[in-house]
Structure 1
Amino acid sequence: MTTTLSARPLRVVLVLKTNHGCMWVAPHVDALLARGHEVVAVLPPGEGRLRRELARRAVSVVDSPFDFGFRPGFRTLAGLFELRRTLAGLEPDVLHYHLFASALAVRLAGAALGAARVHMVPGPLHLESRLIRVVERFLARMDTVTICGSRFTARRYRALGRPAAKTPVIPYGVDTCHFRPVGPAERAVARARLGVEGRDFVVIMVALVYAPKALVHRGRGLKGHEVLLAAWRRFHAEHPDSRLVLVGGGFDEAGASHRRELVAEFRLDEDRSVTWVDTVDDVRPYYGAADLSVSPSLSDNHGAALEAGAMGVPSVVSDAGALQEAVDTAACWVVRADDPDALVTALHEAWAEHRAGRLADRAEVARDRVVRQFDSAPAAAAVAEVVERAAGRGRRLISVFTETRSGGDHRAYARYLVNGDRLCLVTRAEELVSEAARPLPDYHGPVALVRTLPRLALAIVREVLRAEVVVLRQPGPIGWIAAVACKLLRRRYSVEVVGDPFDVLVSGTLGRAGRSCARLARAQMRWVVRGATAVSYVTGSALQQRYPAAWGRRTAGVSDVRIDAGALRAGPREWSPAPFGVIAVGSHEQRYKGHDVLLRAVRRLVAEGLDVNVVLVGGGRRHDELVALAGKLGLADRAHFTGPVFDRARVTALLDSAHLFALPSRAEGMPRALIEAMARALPAVGTCVGGIPELLGPGSLVAPDDDEALAGVMRRLLTDPVEWERQSLRNLDVARTYDSSLLDERFSTWLAQVPAARPRRRSA
């Protein structure tokens, strides 16, 4: 006999010790309301921004009878007793609380009420106190689940004895649609409002001011304002063309008092290089005016680095708490906490890059990390899932077996959550979009794979056994091993086909050993796909023909390349005469992008008298080889190598300035770079591999490694205005079919039809 959970919506009681801040709970409330649950908030009396935001969502707000101050005496006991009466009267299914004082109050007042208790920890500060760690070792056991806002905080709680299954890592995140890079016009207006002149170097710090705490960092402000101000004195003395903008008032009256002390100590009323703005509802104009963000905290979670990164502003962060998790070191600086000397050095380096015009190149990397790992929408959905599970509810848990190491890539995996399902990535990554992590033994290369195989297979079998729904992303050994395990354990599985192992191996990019394994890899892939109950392909027909699903299986063609509406050009282009520009975008790490073939084709065109130049965007270990080849071919003045370009606006500008996009790849899946070029209405030429034939017409395709044929197609397209403009219109129309909303809807439909790993037993 089976038991079915009631479909009654949950009543979630949110408890916080403030009604002013903590705006990061708003997306969580939205996610719970979207799932049909009821949310009631218990906040201190009085007006505040959080109370207004909750009222706007029609969330009931109840005044807390307890002030969350734990002073010894009868008044504290009486307040806790009244809080218990309030909570009991609300009849909660789940008590959901943030901040340590709120957690302590709810644990004591909400004991034995029969409600699940979900504690979400916004930062690790309280765990820096030895006394609190001793207390928390025992009190944290009262939480049904402790959601940790960072991996750093999770490690702290697990060191106190909380199991990994009870301490999932879910960041608070940031709204990456609300916080996004500004255009040149907006930036000019924002800088003008601050009185910034010309190319002045603008540094910003966004943080509330907290008074020094008694138990941790005695005498020191937690956000490190004094560290930055001490460093700024020295830095500005050498660079008078720099400005510092501080945004944020006191967290409370004690914080406001500490702010006044800092203003007096550093004589900021007399320092025209420093502007200190009080707390504002919208910090985006300040980020829009900034060249660099600084978070010099002594203790923090992910802090302001997330908002800055989402706005495309690189950061300098201290190594305190979880700040290092928020940034990509390729785009940002990490310095020792409470070290003005290290901060001055980082400011000097950032200033030098600003003056050289290179600092803006870090913007795309900074934003990309935040969008992939810290977008608040999928994070809020993950919090809602944990709340449901804590109450004994929940939708399907989809276990995705994948080779990727980017376990926190929210954007790539958020589509699995669209139907309200829960997600578990089974991978070599250390973190997860939701749920507890399921890391597998790591390996690098075939030799390491063989050595790791027994432990890897055992771990995969364990995950197959506990999975409710199994999805294998192929190709890759993890998915293949999981397919074997499913067959042996009589579990059903589905497959996402995201590439072709045969093309990659037979192209020679992995050497002779790779070529010798190409046919075996293709046979393994076909076997895995044939055994799947449902198959999704990133192509419309190419991969379907090579790796067909069994008859009667549910299939879909859904590209993993998505184009936002704002990236599409408004209309087709008009042809212009020589000189002609050809552009190629792709990694130089391996040979399979065929940029060497492109250089030889360009040499043929130049030899025929055609005025043509080529721009190669990308970097990698074969970059120098390509530069040397260009020189050998006599193209030193016609081949321009940009190296890696992280600024999306610059890539768009390069595409818009070109006449033709070239993708002479030896192996491909569904090429993102080609689709993005087509979205700019750029005519293109490519090879007959992977998904390229689905994007380009027969007249724009050539065989791999055929520079003569490539030169012929390029010549025809560049010198025929009518055909060139026809291709511009055609490519733009094709790119429009990769609109992200359309593809997400298609994937959602397919995913809803994916069956459970084990058939449900019928009720007795």
Structure 2
Amino acid sequence: MTAEAPPRSVTAADHSLRVLLVLKTAQGGLWVLPHLDELRRRGHEVLVVLPAGPGRLRTALRERGVPVVDSPFGFRFRPTPSVLFGLSRLRRLIRGLSPDVLHYHLYASALAARFAGLGLGMPRVHMVAGPLHLESAPIRAAERLLARLDTVTICGSDHTARRYRALGRPAGRTPAIPYGFDTQRFQPLGGKARTEARARLGVGAGTFVAVMVAYVYGPKRSVCAGRGIKGHEVLLAAWAKFHAAHPDSHLVLVGSGFDEAGEKYRQQLIRRFRLDQDGLGPGITWLGTVEDVRPWYAAADLSVSPSLSDNHGAAVEAGAMGLPSIVSDAGGLPETVAPGSGWVVPRGDGEALSEALRAAHAEHVRGALSDRGRYARRFVVATFSGSLAAGAVADTIEKATGSRTGRTISLFTDARFVVRGQGWAPLDPANGPSAREGYLCDGNRIRVVARGEALPGRSNATFDDGAELLALPCYRGAFGLARKLVPLTLAVARAVAGAEVVVLRLPGAVGALAALICRVLRRRYAVEVVGDPADVLASGALGPAGRFLAKPAAAYLRSVVRGADASRFVTRGALQRRYPPRPGTPALAIPNVRLGGTVAGSARAWAPGPFRIVAIGSHETRYKGHDVLLKALRRLLDSGLPVCAAIVGNGRIHDELLALRRSERLTGHVVFLGTLSNRAMVTDLLDSASLFAMPSRTEGLPRALVEAMARALPAVGSAVGGIPELLDESCLVPVDDPVALADAIRRLLTDPQAWEAQSARNLTVARGYEQAALDRRLAGWLRGVPSARRRSWP
């Protein structure tokens, strides 16, 4: 094909783009195919520049009818004139093809496309396959400058996104989108495939089989201290120790050398670990590269990915096949393991890897390992769906060119904003910019419809992140709501009538009122269920009248959820069971807790007392149970345990808590810190604590608890709402029970082994709430939320 631009195809798309993909391999890189398929499905035209010669990717593109152009540049950077000449020819090729956007994967491709595309005036979208190049200090230094040439740097994992943001790239230009995975092709194959594959290995039905699927890469002096990046030697050393104690076990290695250097290194490992040339050693079978890896996953009970640097690797394949995994903490690998689906060990730590193998073997013997596999499958399907990932990549490319304009989402919430300086600020910092960021995907805009104090001359304002506040009449409490009900209703009705997309955050008076108005005005709406009104009212927090209204409030919320066209729940199952969505509508468990850079690097070590307990929550109502904590502290001190507490929060009942502190003789042991709007102060407070307490009377999914767990802090909490989905069962107590709370705190603080186990467990659970992964899921849900107009009620 010549360098002249083919005539543009005529499509039905409103904003048809010509996307030029530059890739340094014609053999690998098959993971780009779903992205290209999605772009073409949307009516965009795709052209691909590849090295000359045959390959699997070239064949797949030809079968799809995608035009392929031979690259005049060989993607090898050497200090010779031929490199400049090749880049010049690539530049002429790109200019002749006249793309609307230049897209590239793999680091050599990125360097070539960046240099060749200089000054051509087109957006450039770099998708980073893995973080290996960032392991090199010189390359990191270069990327600090070169990455600025990318309009958008799509990072294949949250880890890679953090690395690029540390180099100065803004979060808005470094979205984290996984490459995605075909969870239909990779799924459990059944007992027959397992039996056949084990017969080929020569192992019995009860043998414990682990599998590692990875090419072997030759060591590089510039990264990973000259060791093989996939960690084969770490696993082989750990396996020798493990197999000596568990001879009825077998390791399957799938993958030959990636290139000549990789195969040479593989042969060195075979000799070093005394494996014969057929790949048979002490409980080890080493296969070369195979056409279909699925039978070998089917034969296994466990997948192992001990890489020293990686993106998401084979752990996603394994999880889709229903296998739990042991992964190292390198790169994006920890993102592939959810609590209950596997283990994460320090990279390069053979002893920790042996210990994880022993733990997996023990679960295999008990028959519990398969439960992890089933959970791994569910986690991979929910997190790494290829269709969702391809859609997110296409969205990002469209947004980079300005062809995607997005929608305005009106979020109706009971949040309250107060005047600070010349504008508004949320009364609760949890309603700040981080709570809105996830809605700004796909070019969307957000309008927060919430209570706001009077601001002279204005009823709305724009925040720094581009979000808009539409201020409703401000009220406090039930009597205040009654007094402002008429103007509030009119204001909510105007907001509903003018909304493009309506999302109601429930429970709450604003959301409940907006739901009623949506019914009257025939507007479609979506709901975010963040708590349970039945628990709130039945707890007595609002007095006898509240208890009387508990059942009607729950019935109304069930009706609202049933009438919604899309539903989001902050719990995995607790709220869904009480308030089921209408069948056939998009419904997903998406927490409203999004952790940014506040996740601790490792678990903590127990330290002897005195012990400091931290609690965080609003004092507007008695929901948070801080009065229960004060009574429990009195019992702990009376028993001789050296404890103190720091309580963060403010609100209407704050004076009641101060009075209770005096009556319980806790003035010297409890400090109230008010509201901490500075996140660094909150992090420092959590890091100084021995325990986090959340004795709430009602909860959805508590942000403060997840943030404490993200600092590897052990915690106790009441068994309500989403708290049981976060904490270990041993750390849960009944509501309104200061004796049980005191006992749970005492048990944890005085048992170093249990305390350290909870520290590690909580950190692992919290990692599932990191920001980028949840934003991707929220973006997918928002795409299913319909426009607010044209509702025909049954």
TM-score, structure 1 as length reference? 0.61
Q: Which among 64, 75, 84 is matched to residue 57 of structure 1?
A: 64
Are the counterparts in 1 of residues 21 and 104 from structure 2 also a CA contact under 8 Å? yes
Residue matched to 1:184: 191
- Using the TM superposition, give the Cα deviation of residue 386 of structure 1 relative to its aligned residue in structure 2, in angstroms: 0.7
Contact 1:16 1:42 survives alignment (8 Å): yes
Q: Match for 2:335: what amino acid?
A: E
Q: Quote the Cα distance in structure 2 between the aligned partners of 1:79 and 1:402.
A: 56
CA distance in 2, matches of 1:265, 1:29: 43
1:472 aligns with 2:507: no
Aligned counterpart, 2:252:
245
Kept in 2, the 8 Å contact 1:168–1:436? The answer is no
Instruction: Name the aligned partner's letter for residue 536 of structure 1.
Output: D
1:614-651 CA-to-partner distances (Å, cap 9, x unmatched) read xxxx998599999xxxxxxxxxxxxxxxxxxxxxxxxx
Q: Secondary structure at the match of 2:226?
A: coil
Aligned counterparts of 1:119 and 1:367: Cα–Cα separation in 2: 30
Of 388, 393, 402, 2:403 maps to 393
Structure-1 residue corresponding to 2:685: none
Q: Does 1:214 align with 2:229?
A: no
Which of 329, 335, 338 is the aligned partner of 1:328?
Answer: 338
Does structure 2 retain, via aligned residues, the 8 Å contact 1:506–1:514? no
After TM superposition, the structure 1 = structure 2 runs for residues 489-638 of structure 1, keeping only pairs within 5 Å, are 495-497=525-527, 504-505=534-535, 508=538, 510=539, 512-513=541-542, 517=546, 519=549, 535-536=564-565, 558-560=584-586, 621=729
Could you tell me how far apart the structure 2 residues matched to 1:433 and 1:321 are? 27
CA distance in 1, matches of 2:345, 2:374: 21
Aligned mate of 2:319, from 309, 315, 319: 309
Query: Which sections of structure 2, spanning at least 5 residues, go unmatched?
Result: 1-11, 414-431, 449-460, 471-497, 569-574, 589-695, 700-724, 735-780
Match of residue 463, structure 1, among 442, 467, 492: 467
Please state how far the C-alpha of 1:27 moved relative to its aligned partner: 0.9
Cα distance change on mapping 1:468 and 1:750 into 2, 3 Å: closer
2:297 aligns with 287
State whether structure 2 residue 274 is matched by structure 1 residue 267. Answer: yes
CA distance in 1, matches of 2:378, 2:410: 23
Where 1:268 maps in the other structure, the secondary structure is coil
CA contact (8 A) 2:73 2:87 kept: yes
Q: 1:156 to 1:480 in 2, by over 3 A?
A: farther
Q: How does 1:394-433 map to 2 (within 5 A)?
A: 394=404, 396-397=406-407, 399=409
Q: Given residue 7 of structure 1, which amino acid in structure 2 is its aligned partner?
A: D
Give the Cα separation in 2 of the matches to 1:281 and 1:400. Answer: 50
**Structure 1 residue 751 and structure 2 residue 786: aligned?**
yes
Q: 1:26 to 1:48 in 2, by over 3 A?
A: same
Equivalent AA in structure 1 for residue 105 of structure 2: H
Alignment partners' CA distance in 2, 1:194 and 1:86: 50
Equivalent of 1:318, from 328, 346, 362? 328
Contact in 1 for aligned 2:535/2:697 (Cα 8 Å): no
> In the alignment, residue 342 of structure 2 is paired with which amino acid?
C
> What amino acid maps onto 1:198 in structure 2?
A
Q: 3-state DSSP class of the match of 2:224?
A: coil
Tell me the CA shift for residue 504 of structure 1.
Answer: 2.8
Matched, 1:376 2:376: no
Instruction: After TM superposition, give the deviation of residue 329 of structure 1 in Å.
Output: 3.0
1:193 aligned to 177, 190, 200, which one? 200
SS of equivalent to 2:216: coil
- Secondary structure of 1:304's partner? helix
Aligned positions of 1:622-701 closer than 5 A:
none
Which residue does the alignment assign to 2:666?
A: none
- 1:59 Cα deviation from its structure 2 partner: 0.9
Shift of 1:193: 2.6
CA distance in 1, matches of 2:287, 2:445: 44
1:331-356 CA distance string (max 9 Å, x none): 21111100111101110111111111
Give the C-alpha shift of residue 483 in structure 1. 7.1
- 1:143 and 2:178 aligned: no
Offset at 1:384? 0.2
Other structure's SS at 2:223 match: coil
Mapped partners of 2:45, 2:218: distance in 1: 36
- Post-superposition shift, 1:389? 1.1
Aligned in 2, Cα 1:750/1:79: closer, same or farther, shift over 3 Å? closer
Task: Choose the corresponding residue for 1:38, options 36, 39, 45.
Answer: 45
Contact 1:248–1:277 (CA under 8 A) maintained in structure 2: yes
1:231 to 235, 238, 250: 238
Q: 2:98 aligns with which of 91, 113, 117?
A: 91
- Would the aligned equivalents of 2:433 and 2:465 in 1 still touch at CA under 8 Å? no
Check whether the contact 1:164–1:436 (CA below 8 A) recurs between aligned residues. no
Matched, 1:128 2:135: yes
Query: Residue 209 of structure 1 aligns to which amino acid in structure 2?
Result: V
RMSD: 4.7
**CA–CA separation in structure 2 for the residues paired with 1:434 and 1:251:** 37
Quote the Cα distance in structure 1 between the aligned partners of 2:440 and 2:29.
Answer: 22
| 1:102 aligned residue | 109
What is the identity percentage for the equivalent residue pairs of Structure 1 and Structure 2? Answer: 49
Query: For 1:474 and 1:521, how far apart are their aligned partners in 2?
Result: 19
Q: Is the 8 A contact 2:188 2:320 kept in 1?
A: yes
Shift in Å at residue 20 of structure 1? 1.6
Aligned counterparts of 1:460 and 1:482: Cα–Cα separation in 2: 29
Deviation string, structure 1 residues 357-397 (Cα, Å, up to 9, x no partner) = 11111112212221111111111101001111111211534
Kindly indicate whether the alpha-carbon contact (under 8 Å) linking 1:505 and 1:517 is maintained by their aligned counterparts in 2.
no
Cα displacement (A) at 1:435 = 5.3
Q: Indicate the SS of the match to 2:786.
A: helix
State the 1:7 CA deviation: 2.9
Measured after TM superposition, the shift of residue 523 of structure 1 is: 7.9
Secondary structure class of the residue paired with 2:57: helix
Partner Cα separation in structure 2 for residue 311 and residue 352 of structure 1:
21
Match of 1:117 in 2: 124
**Which whole-Å CA distance do the structure 1 matches of 2:437 and 2:783 have between them?**
27
Q: What residue in structure 1 maps to residue 307 of structure 2?
A: 297
Work out the number of aligned pairs and report it: 526
Contact 1:294–1:317, Cα closer than 8 Å, also in 2: yes
Query: For the residues of structure 1 that align with 2:167 and 2:465, how far apart are their CA atoms?
Result: 30
Structure-1 separation of matches of 2:733 and 2:160: 45
